[in-house]
Amino acid sequence: AQSVTQPDIHITVSEGASLELRCNYSYGATPYLFWYVQSPGQGLQLLLKYFSGDTLVQGIKGFEAEFKRSQSSFNLRKPSVHWSDAAEYFCAVAPLGSGNTGKLIFGQGTTLQVKP
């Protein structure tokens, strides 16, 4: 079955430290891959996406993600975390195939806490 796994439910990092959020997917072919961020009371905001091409993609707010086909992973990184990055982060895939609708399958999310 298609699935997205975010192994870390909760991560705490110090402000200024680097960050890596993990995402693994289970799917027969390489799907389209996304990272979204959700702040309290806010809707989901797209950070970045991967469709094809360069496996290192840049997003907004200084985030980047690397697609690794061999590991079925799409990990999100940021070199220096800011207190405003505290939020919930979701990895999502859009399965490909005939009749696909573009619906997203989300992981369960990783809550990021930033220590001052």
Q: Which residues bind other proteins (CB under 8 A)?
A: 4, 32, 34, 36, 41-46, 49, 51, 90, 92, 94, 96, 100-109
Quote the least distance from Cβ 94 to other proteins, whole Å.
Answer: 5
Which CB sits closer to other proteins, 9 or 70?
A: 9
Q: What 3-state class would DSSP assign to 106?
A: strand
Quote the least distance from Cβ 71 to other proteins, whole Å.
Answer: 21
Which CB sits closer to other proteins, 93 or 114?
A: 93
Quote the least distance from Cβ 69 to other proteins, whole Å.
Answer: 18
Closest CA to 32 of 12, 15, 11, 46: 46
Token pair for residue 71? 């590991």
Give yes or no for a contact between 98 and 82, defined as CB atoms under 8 angstroms apart.
Answer: no
What's the half-sphere exposure (Cβ side, CA atoms, 13 Å) at 22?
10
Which CB sits closer to other proteins, 85 or 109?
A: 109
Q: What 3-state class would DSSP assign to 84?
A: helix
Which CB sits closer to other proteins, 15 or 86?
A: 86
